[in-house]
């Protein structure tokens, strides 16, 4: 019986699933973040090596592998990732796709629709059976609005402005200072600049935005609304370039930002003005979408 591996490599965590030829999971392994731009080639290879050691220690036990990872629709990044997989023992049996593609496959088995993926970064990706389109997903300096990193970063800025008196007071200030174990902006500066505050650590601050909103903080509530509006804009940009023949289509909602700030889902529904779009929260591991795409390589 053929076996395949599907891997979802994200900015914060990596999940791998071993499955049989019917797509039934046989095993699971987890590791740290594996984003090429954030973590670098050596760290990505280390994480993938650990996942594969757990699921396919001989490197000869599976018939195909699919890896979903951000950035591989850029030729240079795809070349680097394929080089890593070759060194790890996978040559002709490996499929490499954007992480949004596996989330769409996991949430829309017919593989048509749009996915809005908001994790450490954010991207909208869609397919209508004839073409694929994306919006966003260009990294935190150029895009990633509505992502967990964006929420955490914007919250930090609001907290600093409040501390200075340049902005209104906000519940974000004590929440973020407690999360970072600092007592003032003076303590925050070395924490951010000298010791370094990595991207995933800033993304991990996003749940505090939801907590502040729950305390009635208007700035936190506005921040969640702004994030949802940005994600809705990305969905609309993709939808305008696709043709679903006038039929309703799923908008798969996935990523850690929605887990960190659950109220952003309702805010997205309020902001989304795309005819035929049906919000469909993803309740399965995106790695199962990678399993489905890996099975394409072994099925006649």
Q: Is a pLDDT exceeding 90 seen at residue 36?
A: no
- Give the CA count within 13 Å in the CB-facing half-sphere of 245: 6
Residue 35's closest CA among 50, 25, 22, 45?
Answer: 45
pLDDT band at 65 (very low <50, low <70, confident <90, very high): very high
What pLDDT digit, counting tens, does each position of 2-19 carry?
999 999 998 889 999 999
Q: What pLDDT is attached to residue 204?
A: 95
Using a 10 angstrom Cβ sphere, with 0-12 exposed, 13-18 middle and 19 or more buried, the burial of residue 58 is exposed
pTM of full prediction above 0.75: yes
Q: Do 192 and 253 contact (CB within 8 A), yes or no?
A: no
Query: For the chain, which domains are there?
Result: 3-108+285-295 (3.30.420.40)
Q: Do 219 and 82 contact (CB within 8 A), yes or no?
A: no
Secondary structure E strands in the chain: 3-9, 13-20, 25-32, 64-69, 94-97, 113-118, 122-127, 132-136, 249-254, 277-281
| CA distances (Å), origin 8, targets 5, 43, 99, 144, 217 | 10, 15, 7, 18, 35
Q: Is a pLDDT exceeding 90 seen at residue 66?
A: yes
Q: What average pLDDT does the segment 179-206 reach?
A: 92
Q: And the tokens for 40?
A: 């670098």
Query: In which residue are the tokens 């990596």 written?
Result: 14
What pLDDT digit, counting tens, does each position of 71-115 carry?
787 888 889 999 999 999 998 889 999 999 999 999 998 999 999
Compute the radius of gyration of the chain from its Cα atoms: 20
Q: What pLDDT is attached to residue 63?
A: 93
pLDDT band at 300 (very low <50, low <70, confident <90, very high): confident
Q: What pLDDT is attached to residue 35?
A: 85
Q: What pLDDT is attached to residue 71?
A: 77
CB atoms under 10 Å from CB of 276, counted, come to 13
Classified as helix, coil or strand, 266 is helix
pLDDT band at 262 (very low <50, low <70, confident <90, very high): very high
Classified as helix, coil or strand, 121 is coil
Sheet-wide strand order for 25-32: 25-32, 13-20, 3-9, 64-69, 94-97
Q: Do 124 and 95 contact (CB within 8 A), yes or no?
A: no
Average per-residue pLDDT in the chain? 94
Q: Do 103 and 282 contact (CB within 8 A), yes or no?
A: yes
Q: What average pLDDT does the segment 258-268 reach?
A: 98
pLDDT band at 219 (very low <50, low <70, confident <90, very high): very high
Q: What average pLDDT does the segment 243-264 reach?
A: 96
pLDDT band at 1 (very low <50, low <70, confident <90, very high): confident
């Amino acid at each position: 019986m053929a076996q395949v591996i599907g891997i979802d490599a994200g900015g914060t965590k990596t999940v791998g699933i071993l499955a049989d030829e019917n797509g039934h999971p046989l095993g699971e392994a987890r590791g740290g973040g594996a984003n090429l731009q954030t973590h670098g080639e050596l760290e990505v290879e280390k994480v993938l090596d650990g996942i594969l050691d757990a699921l396919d220690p001989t490197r000869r036990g599976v018939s195909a592998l699919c890896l979903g990872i951000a950035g591989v629709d850029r030729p240079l990044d795809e070349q680097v990732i394929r080089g890593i997989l070759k060194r790890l023992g996978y040559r002709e049996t490996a499929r490499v796709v954007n992480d949004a593609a596996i989330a769409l496959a996991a949430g829309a088995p017919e593989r048509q629709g749009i996915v809005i993926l908001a994790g450490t970064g954010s991207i909208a990706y869609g397919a209508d059976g004839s073409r694929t389109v994306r919006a966003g997903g260009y990294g935190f300096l150029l895009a990633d609005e509505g992502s967990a990193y964006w929420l955490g970063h914007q919250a930090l800025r609001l907290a600093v402005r409040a501390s200075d008196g340049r902005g209104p007071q906000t519940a974000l200030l004590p929440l973020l200072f407690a999360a970072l174990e600092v007592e003032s902006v003076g303590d925050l500066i070395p924490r951010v600049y000298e010791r370094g505050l990595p991207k995933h650590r800033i993304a991990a601050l996003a749940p505090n935005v939801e907590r502040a909103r729950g305390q009635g903080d208007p700035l936190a509530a506005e921040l969640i609304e702004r994030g949802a509006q940005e994600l809705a804009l990305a969905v609309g940009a993709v939808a305008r370039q696709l043709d679903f023949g006038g039929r309703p289509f799923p908008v798969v909602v996935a990523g850690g930002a929605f887990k960190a700030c659950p109220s952003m889902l309702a805010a997205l529904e309020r902001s989304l003005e795309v005819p035929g779009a049906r919000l469909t929260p993803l309740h399965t591991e995106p790695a199962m979408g990678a399993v489905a795409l890996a099975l394409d390589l072994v099925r006649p």
